[in-house]
Amino acid sequence: MVKKRTVKSKQSKTYIPSSQESETYADSYNNGIIQEDLEQIDKYIYQEEMNFFKQEFDKREIEKTSVPEDSIPICADVRNYDFLQLAKIHQEVKGKLFDVIMMDPPWQLSGANPTRGVTISYESLPDPSIRQLPIPKLQNQGLIFIWTINAKYRMSLQLLDCWGYKYVDEVVWVKKTCNNKIAKSHGYWLQHAKETCLVGVKGDLDMSDKEIPDIIFSLRRGQSQKPEEVYQMIEELVPNGSYLEIFGRRNNLRAGWITIGNEI
Q: How far is the CB of 79 from ligand SAM (least distance, A)?
A: 5
Q: 175 or 226: whose CB is closer to ligand SAM?
A: 226
251/44 Cα distance (integer angstroms): 34
Query: How does DSSP classify residue 103?
Result: E
Which residues here bind ligand SAM, judged by CB under 6 A? 77-79, 104, 106, 122-123, 125, 224-226, 247-249, 251-252, 261-263
Which is nearer to ligand SAM, 12 or 223 (by Cβ)? 223
* Shortest Å distance, C-beta 148 to ligand SAM: 11
Nearer to ligand SAM, 147 or 163 (CB): 147
Residue with smaller CB distance to ligand SAM, 64 or 166: 64
C-alpha angle 257/263/264, rounded to 5°?
40
Task: Please state the closest distance from residue 122 (CB atom) to ligand SAM, in A.
Answer: 3
Cα distance between residue 41 and residue 43, in whole Å: 5
How near is the Cβ of 146 to ligand SAM at its closest, in Å?
A: 11
Least distance CB 252 / ligand SAM (angstroms): 5
Of 6 and 120, CB closest to ligand SAM? 120
With H, G, I as helix, E, B as strand and everything else as coil, classify residue 50: helix
Residues in CB range of 106: below 8 A, 6 or more apart: 120, 122, 123, 124, 125, 247
Parallel/antiparallel/unpaired status of strands 194-202 and 166-176:
antiparallel
CA distances from 50 to 53, 56, 130, 167, 239 (A): 5, 10, 41, 48, 44
